[in-house]
Amino acid sequence: MRAGGAVDRAAEPERIYRARYGRFLRVAVAIMRDERLAEEAVHDGFVRALRHRRGFAERGSLEAWLWRIVVNEARRRIAAERQTVFLEPAALAEAAIAPSNGHREGGALEALVGALPERQRLALFLRYYADLDYEAIAEALGVKPGTVAATLHAAHSSLRRALLEVER
């Protein structure tokens, strides 16, 4: 706070970084599948945000703007390093039924999520890893809240269908 009770706008990104770092990191790890690279993406995303904070038009929430920057930084790094892996449907099914002590591997669901279209994956990560509501996800992805609802519905349906196919 500044004198007179005004909020120090310059300190707000740092406050969000400190308060939500774990969530930003979880989403970046989910996108990148590498914790070290995800840490760098979160850090560089916040550095980019601080350098360009005048670009924040204050039409939405600052946190959603920061989410968009961090998600885009993770996506940019993946594209630059060509770390995305596309699995054939047979490989997905094999991964999903590979037993480990009688239980499915956690990697099987990861593989199924990895096969979803990018917008569906990002919406899932922001909803379940970052615990953002539909409005914040919409701002972070640059879409309308109704699109978020439809995207999450499509992702859930695709995963449900894929899991039922694997069980057969």
CATH architecture of 1-84: Orthogonal Bundle (1.10)
Q: How far apart are CA 122 and CA 28, in angstroms?
A: 10
pLDDT of residue 84: 39
How is the chain split into domains, by residue range? 1-84, 85-168
pLDDT of residue 163: 86
Please give the model's pTM, rounded to 2 decimal places.
Answer: 0.70
85-168 belongs to CATH 1.10.3720.10: no
Q: Are 34 and 107 in contact (CB under 8 A)?
A: no
Mean pLDDT in order along the chain per 10 residues (168 residues): 51 92 96 93 94 80 93 90 48 40 59 92 94 94 95 95 80
Q: Are 51 and 42 in contact (CB under 8 A)?
A: no
pLDDT of residue 110: 83
Strand partners, 104: 99
pLDDT of residue 82: 56
